[in-house]
Amino acid sequence: MKMDAVENTMDLLEAIKARHSVRSFTDKMIEGEIKSSLQDTVDECNRESGLNIQLCLDEPDAFGGMRAHYGKFENCKNYIALIGKAGTDEPCGYYGEKLVMKAQQLGLNTCWVGMTYSKSKAPCVLNKGEKIQLVIALGYGNTSGKPHRSKDMMQLCKVEGEMADWFKNGMEAAMLAPTAINQQKFIITQSGNTVSAKPLAAFFSKFDIGIVKCHFEIGAGKENFSWKEV
């Protein structure tokens, strides 16, 4: 998968460190240049991936309409719907996280959502064979969230020989990746300058692996290694 970072004042490593799930939002609308910049990135991701990602703004119904709370969410009126055919879990994770990074750079907060929203209320246009895989809640947060706990690096990777610096940097970024219920069900393996990332059996772990690969590439630098498909 390819796509270069969209330049911004906050670089991608800073965005990785600053991003935490946020589930409570202010009334501030997403509009003007922020909206068009996000839409441009959605279009770029769709061109590259063949997904049908859609930006849903000022649409409160999927997150409970006028009710203040829905699941753990409060006042969520904006979201990104990740839409694709069966078998697109990993690209949805990868390109969804590109959009999470872009949102963070634009001063927005996000939370991946697999469960606590109403899929049927989302006003998305689906092509034959497509479905809404997941959504990403979006908006100006009431807080900027807090860091998640992480497993130790050595529980999440295998290395043949000595660990390269770029691999360690990649792992540090991967450990900051959001995963469903913070499960971190993945193993990343280094063999020379080849890396594989394997999802372990768990709900949503194939989405998680796309997210984790997006982070690993940012931390390690894509020029330092190539992915081996698993």
Ligand X SMILES: Cc1cc2nc3c(=O)[nH]c(=O)nc-3n(C[C@H](O)[C@H](O)[C@H](O)COP(=O)(O)O)c2cc1C
Q: Give the binding site for ligand X (CB under 6 A).
A: 20-21, 23, 72, 111-116, 134, 145, 148, 178-182, 204, 207-208, 211
Q: In whole angstroms, how far apart are CA 49 and each of 3, 84, 161, 181, 219? A: 10, 10, 35, 26, 22
Phi, psi of 24 (to 5 degrees): -130, 125
State the minimum distance, in angstroms, from the CB of residue 192 to ligand X.
30
**Given the complex with ligand X, which of 186 and 225 has the nearer CB atom?**
186
The residue among 73 and 225 lying less far from ligand X, judged by its C-beta, is: 73
Distance CA 86, CA 130 (A): 7
Residue nearest to ligand X (CB): 178
Cβ neighbours of 195 (radius 10 Å): 24
Q: Minimum distance from CB of 103 to ligand X (Å)?
A: 13
CA distances from 2 to 131, 134, 154, 214 (A): 23, 21, 28, 10
Q: Which is nearer to ligand X, 184 or 190 (CB)?
A: 184
Q: Tokens at residue 180, please? A: 């469903």
Whole-number Å distance between alpha carbons of 77 and 22 = 13
Q: Least CB distance from residue 146 to ligand X, whole Å?
A: 7
User: Of 170 and 210, which has the nearer Cβ to ligand X?
Assistant: 210
Tell me the closest approach of the beta carbon of residue 115 to ligand X, in angstroms: 3
Return the amino acid letter for 135.
Answer: V
Cβ-based nearer residue to ligand X, 138 or 211 = 211
